[in-house]
Structure 1
Amino acid sequence: MADMRRLLSNSAGNMTEAWIGLYDQRDGIRTWYWSLPGVEFNEANWNEGEPNDIITENCGFINTIKWGDISCNRKLFFLCYKKNKTSEKFFLIEEEKTWLEAQSYCRDKHTDLSSGLDQLNDDQLKDVLPKNKNVFIGLFRDTWRWSDGSSFSFRHWNLMFNDEKYNSGQCAMTVFDDGGRWKNEDCTAKKPFICYDDNMILIQENKTWEEALRYCRTHYRDLVTISNLDEQRSVQQETQFASSPFVWMGLHYACTLDVWFWVTDEVLIFENWASELKIDDCDMSGAMQQEGEHKWVKENVSEKFNFICSKC
């Protein structure tokens, strides 16, 4: 949603709509995603016999603790998640809506539909779940892909979008006078278009520093590095949307040499440490504060935080 707000703020003149880099593969395999950006779909908790795709079922529900697939056009109660520091994070909305309507409601009133194993296994969520009732969660699948090859799960379709149709070969555009929501159209239509040069992504999963490093090197390029004030500002722009108090960077402490270094072997030129820091030890890495001035802090590598990967 942060990217959409930046896009809308930069829209110019009388341009009402523009192509974005999302297209629907004609022969692609449907892939499961989470609605909340940065949460990767890598494990599942399906009920026995699910997903069964009886009639094109591209959205997910939870019943007690197990998941199933269901038509996105069915109307169900749904679970919203709110990223905050209070004890109340999950909200059961006892209004029947389609999956897209539920997603729109959660993003408007809270943060998003409940997404990912960390949220769906949370004891607090179990306290609000109704018994033996299907409830929408932030799980969906489609054949849409980004032109830069990324697996980013964010979707912002208008409420008229047919999420039961797949392999259409169409392309997506954003409509500025509809809050930036997207619609699909034949790719041969001539429209204005939007380019971008974003080179990093916030992963809203809590991992140790070494787990984060492996994840970034497997899926992107590396943990993010910062060499000047402009890069610091770019990273903190992403950090403010993290769901953990700190966010891992590619900064590590070499105990034997008594020196801090970036994992890309870049020299530590620019620094932005907080005033009160832990004493260096052999298991420290660098993280950025999620709030405030986004200063750097030293944290034990076994701590689990969100992290930022560089893409190039």
Structure 2
Amino acid sequence: MKAAIALFLFLSLFRLSFTLYRKHFFVNTLMTWKDAQTYCREYHDDLSTVNKEEAKLLSANPGINHAYFWIGMHMSPNNPEQWIWSGGEDEDIDNWDVGEPNTYTQKCGVVRRSNSKLHNAMCSGTLPFYCMQVFELILVHQNKTWDEALDYCRQTYTDLASLSSKMIMAEAINNATSSQTAYVWTGLRFMAGHWFWVSGDDLQYKAWSKEGELQCPARNLRCGVLDRENNIWRPNNCEDKLNFLCLKKL
């Protein structure tokens, strides 16, 4: 029952001094909604809370071989007219398919893969599902080398930041506006012939400078920075001392 895929999407908290985002894990094991909730709470944070954009991205996972998958949405036990999230998140539920929800007896929420729309279903049914973890993006105003920044983030928080989607990139740029250095360390590293996020996250989304992703960077240019003035990634000397972005698992 290991997670087969992880997708990052952000939960923006505007007007606050920090940024949260969600990481989703697909579990390709058939469970009832309640058993899926129990599993997610034991191994992650909870069943996934999703917005419209997340529903589309999660539905595109080629590893799903069912027409529907569980998410954390369910009918309020106190009000059959109200749908709520398993973790209590204040996220709008406004992505219902036509004619849904269609009965008070189907009290648990699924996403229909074909159109990424929300449906209600019998909680006793068995489906694959998504779990989530919530992270905070933190700018550290200390000047450190890349290795020092990595050690600091792993000892103090969780890891150096992975900017693995367009939305997270936008939040990182916003978060880095108060940086004391023009470049900010991220968890991007070149080693063994390729670039990767040290946290293990997918590198499908890319935001390199116009020079592109260097396939064989110079030995002193093998750590990735966020260029906050030009909103791009650059290879950089790992020994430079810069501010940096950490992830904190909540």
Larger radius of gyration: 1
Question: Structure 2-normalised TM-score?
Answer: 0.44
- Normalised TM-score (structure 1): 0.36
Q: Quick check: which one's strand share is greater?
A: 2
